[in-house]
Amino acid sequence: MPGGGLSLDGKQWVACKPGFFLPVRVLSRLFRRRFLEALQQAHQAGRLQFFGEHVPLADATAFADWLAPMRRCEWVVYAKRPFAGPEAVLAYLSRYTHRVAISNSRLLALDERGVTFRWKDYRAKGRTRYKAMTLAPEEFMRRFLLHVLPGGFHRIRHYGLLANSSRRANLTLARELLCAPAPEPAPKDGDACTKPPTFVCPHCGRAMLVVQTFMRGQTIRAPPQEPQR
């Protein structure tokens, strides 16, 4: 959410009103239209089933008449500022946009019983919150694939100023209108040596390379001996 946008002629930056977060009314009507359209398409494709007193809704005309009042009433979209700030929102979303369904650290075992992994029970408190579960391999893969997007879907889509077709030009123009400094270029692979080294030799001043790390209590292995001739 950039908090504003470029004017139609591209000559000035139009900022939003103070305290503005989202166009709640526009958002609610857009969600209403998209939701009802998807519901209508599911009904036409025969993916909806009705039971009991709702059996007459299987008819297309009856279902359309039942949806008509919902197109005229206002839908409520509850949107508010996050308590912990925007950083908390980005940290929350990053767990779903830049990570897989389950991390390797949660996988405990793979044996004849199945796949054992660690999961979190939010209803429990303390140490009993983290538990282990064992599933058959096919059931584990079925649940894992539920988190894989179908073909043609993307986790992140950019619109407006950040659209892929004109993102670089729009951001450059926005910085010029806002008198914001241009970001520093990302260091290339060959520029890694320009960073100050972490460990420096006290005798020659050259950068030291970490060859191996020994944990506390670990026995240091002697170098292999050369075979006797």
For 133-144, how does the pLDDT look when each residue is reduced to its tens digit (9 = 90+)? 999 999 999 999
Q: Are residues 76 and 108 in the same domain?
A: no
What pLDDT, in 10s, does the model give residues 47-71? 999 999 999 999 999 999 999 999 9
Map residue 126 onto helix, strand or coil. helix
Residue 66 maps to a domain: yes
Looking at this protein, which amino acid is placed at residue 14? V
The confidence score (pLDDT) of residue 4 equals: 85
Range of the domain at 55: 22-80
pLDDT at 29 over 70: yes
Residue 97 and residue 195: Cα distance in Å, rounded?
30
The confidence score (pLDDT) of residue 221 equals: 61
The confidence score (pLDDT) of residue 118 equals: 93
- Least confident piece of the model among 3-7, 60-64, 106-110: 3-7
pLDDT at 75 over 70: yes
Residue bearing the bigger pLDDT, 191 or 29 = 29
Residue bearing the bigger pLDDT, 195 or 30 = 30
Residue 193 maps to a domain: no
Q: Are residues 76 and 106 in the same domain?
A: no
Altogether, the residues listed in the chain come to a count of: 229
Residue 149 and residue 156: Cα distance in Å, rounded?
12
The confidence score (pLDDT) of residue 25 equals: 85
Q: Which residue has the tokens 């002697």?
A: 222
Instruction: Give the tokens for residue 188.
Output: 């290339």
Enumerate residues 6+ apart whose C-beta is below 8 A from 156.
Answer: 97
Q: What is the DSSP letter of 223?
A: P
Question: Would you place residue 27 in the very low, low, confident or very high pLDDT band (cuts 50, 70, 90)?
Answer: confident
Using H for helix, E for strand and C for coil, what is the string for 127-186? HHHEEEEEECHHHHHHHHHCCCCCCCCCCCCCCHHHCCCCHHHHHHHHHHHHCCCCCCCC
Residue 45 maps to a domain: yes
Mean pLDDT of 158-178: 87
Residue 116 maps to a domain: yes
Q: To 10 degrees, what angle do helices 24-44 and 60-72 make?
A: 180
Residue 117 maps to a domain: yes
The confidence score (pLDDT) of residue 229 equals: 57
Domain count along the chain: 2
Residue 127 and residue 135: Cα distance in Å, rounded?
22
Residue 96 maps to a domain: no
pLDDT at 213 over 70: yes
Residue 71 and residue 36 in contact, taking contact as beta carbons nearer than 8 Å:
yes
The confidence score (pLDDT) of residue 223 equals: 58
The confidence score (pLDDT) of residue 87 equals: 86
Going by their DSSP bridges, the two strands 107-111 and 114-120 should be labelled as: antiparallel
Instruction: Give the tokens for residue 31.
Output: 């969600």
Question: Would you place residue 226 in the very low, low, confident or very high pLDDT band (cuts 50, 70, 90)?
Answer: low
Distance of CA 56 to the CA centre of its chain: 41
| Longest Cα–Cα distance in the chain | 96
The confidence score (pLDDT) of residue 141 equals: 94
Map residue 199 onto helix, strand or coil. coil
- Evaluate if pTM is beyond 0.75: no
